[in-house]
Amino acid sequence: MTVILLVAAVVIVFVVVVLVTSGRRRQADRHRQEAASHRDLARVSQLEADRKAAEADERAARSRQEQLAAEQQRLEAEQHRNDAAQLQERADELDPDTQTRR
């Protein structure tokens, strides 16, 4: 009878150990799945952040390009004004009627 009780106790301890170990494995598997899900969400979020950063960089580049084009136009307009002023001055120098007014 003692042997039967001893064997029963060993079997019960074995079953408890198996159940506890199995429960821990299931919990570890759930944690792994949850971690994988979080990693996937992090990847998606990182890709979205990268896309938005690229769009911002493109927008900044277009803005810089527009700024340079506007500056170039301003310089060209100033050059045309200077050319017009020089032509007007030269015309005044050549015109005999303008020279008498001076």
Query: What is the pLDDT at residue 3?
Result: 86
CA angle 86, 76, 94 (to 5 degrees): 10
Q: Please, which residues have CB within 8 angstroms of residue 98's CB and are 6 or more apart in sequence?
A: 91, 92
| Res 99: pLDDT | 66
Structure token digits, residue 69: 């084009």
**What pLDDT, on a 0 to 100 scale, did the predictor assign at position 101?**
52
Cite the DSSP H helix spans in the chain.
Answer: 2-94, 96-101
Between the alpha carbon of residue 90 and those of residues 34, 35, 76, the distances in Å are 83, 81, 21
Is this prediction's pTM over 0.85? no
User: Given this model, what pLDDT does residue 77 score?
Assistant: 98
pLDDT per residue rounded down to tens, the chain (102 residues): 888 888 889 899 999 999 899 989 999 999 999 999 999 999 999 999 999 999 999 999 999 999 999 999 999 999 999 999 999 999 998 888 876 554
**Where in the chain are the domains?**
33-91
